Amino acid sequence: MPKRHPLDVVIIGAGVVGAAIAYYAARSGLSVAVVDRGPVAGGTTGAGEGNLLVSDKEAGPELDLALLSAGLWRELAATLPQEIEYEAKGGLVVAPDEASLAALRKFAEGQRTCGVEAVEAGPGELRELEPHLARGPAGGFLYPQDAQVHPAQAAARLLAASGASVHLGEEVTAILTGPAGVRGVRTRGGELLAPAVVNAAGTWGGRIAELAGVTLPVLPRRGFVLVTEPLPRLVRHKVYAADYIADVASGSASLQSSAVVEGTPSGPVLIGATRERVGFDRSLSVEALRRLAGQAAALFPVLADARVLRTYHGFRPYLPDHLPAIGPDPRVPGLLHACGHEGAGIGLAPATGLLIAAALTGAQPPLPGHPFRPDRFAPSADPDPAR
């Protein structure tokens, strides 16, 4: 890309997606700046569990993105400092009855055609994998490719390794354009000039798109997480009930809850996950927490007596078709988007970074980008069908 400005690209958003874009763009030889109105990982990334999942994605573009990212995360874990807490723990999906198990079996068959490892486990094998799991499930599937990182640390380490200039606490107030398209951004601290701007603003991606005069129907989807007292090695894998897969794919605005339980290197057990569209309402939902606690205890009865030390929540960036917007926006030359990953942004960040870096440099993309086109939504469509 010809150097018309001091920078080649400005990335809006210092979460894990923005950090991964900075990392791969810099490795491609570009001069990069990252700007965020808050701290590193101050939004969705900091409120995440660090899930790197292939198990919850059906065969299709998102699964392709997840598989590419799974390999990239393994590479990053070997090159970045240990603080990212990468764990190749594997995922265990539990089916309560034969009907659910049959549905999981069909789901896994489709995934295997894309390169997913899915190993069926009977009731006895489930107990060997997770000794504290409740008795009664008909069976389940083990996904060895599922893993976990510390999301905030991963974002910070990627950003540091990129060498990008980082501008924190600076809200973008305008996207600067000219006859040829984008020419940079204006913040409360001044202007950052570049021929390309990447919208990696997560749940605020729609607002950033508006600054450029385009529509991107990103909506916040609130979720809660419970954190228990330290319980080392009580839960060995990332374990969740089969209905979690349906919740992820659902477009409902109402409260949905399905237990996702996992241990951490430091000992506490994390319990998610809820989903609801309530705007940016940050109030505590007792009902959401009650459901999580009950569902987690149903999976692991030993957790019924565990102390919950704290809870936290955040907002997933939701798009109506459940696919992220990744790539150039043909409506504004020089504008690219990388947002709308919902709850999968941490897992999908490296592949997103590669796709954006390829678009910026004109290189061959690692995957077809058409399914993620930012302009795929009808301009007249209501982004929230629940209204």
pLDDT mean over 165-183:
96
pLDDT higher than 70, residue 384: no
- How many beta carbons lie within 10 A of that of residue 82, not counting itself? 10
pLDDT band at 247 (very low <50, low <70, confident <90, very high): low
Helices (H), the chain: 16-27, 61-79, 98-112, 123-129, 151-162, 205-211, 243-249, 286-299, 345-361
Start and end residues for every CATH 3.50.50.60 domain found in the chain = 1-88+145-218+320-387
Start and end residues for every CATH 3.30.9.10 domain found in the chain = 89-144+219-318
pLDDT at 4: 44
pLDDT band at 253 (very low <50, low <70, confident <90, very high): confident
Give the integer Cα–Cα distance in Å for 226 and 271: 5
How far does the chain reach from its first CA to its final CA, in angstroms?
44
Q: List all residues 6 or more positions away from 326 whose beta carbon is below 8 Å from its beta carbon.
A: 337, 338, 352, 355, 356, 369, 372, 374
Coil, strand, or helix at residue 337? strand
CATH level 2 (architecture), domain 89-144+219-318: 2-Layer Sandwich (3.30)
Q: List all residues 6 or more positions away from 302 whose beta carbon is below 8 Å from its beta carbon.
A: 132, 234
Of the candidates 87, 151, 141, the one whose C-alpha atom is nearest the C-alpha of residue 116 is 141
Helices vs strands, H then E, count in the chain: 9, 19
- How many beta carbons lie within 10 A of that of residue 66, not counting itself? 23
The DSSP letter of residue 195 is S
pLDDT at 81: 75
Measured over the CA atoms of residue 176, residue 345, residue 151 and residue 203, the dihedral's sign is positive
pLDDT at 364: 97
pLDDT band at 248 (very low <50, low <70, confident <90, very high): low
pLDDT in tens, 19-65: 999 999 999 999 999 999 999 999 999 999 899 999 999 999 999 99
pLDDT higher than 60, residue 322: yes
pLDDT in tens, 209-231: 999 999 999 999 999 999 999 99
- Order the strands of the 190-193 sheet from edge to edge: 172-178, 181-187, 190-193
Could you tell me the maximum CA-CA distance found in the chain, to the nearest angstrom?
67
Pairing of strands 190-193, 181-187: antiparallel
Q: List all residues 6 or more positions away from 348 whose beta carbon is below 8 Å from its beta carbon.
A: 17, 62, 65, 66, 69, 324, 341
Q: What average pLDDT does the structure give for the chain?
A: 93
- What is the fold, at CATH topology level, of the domain defined by 1-88+145-218+320-387? FAD/NAD(P)-binding domain (3.50.50)
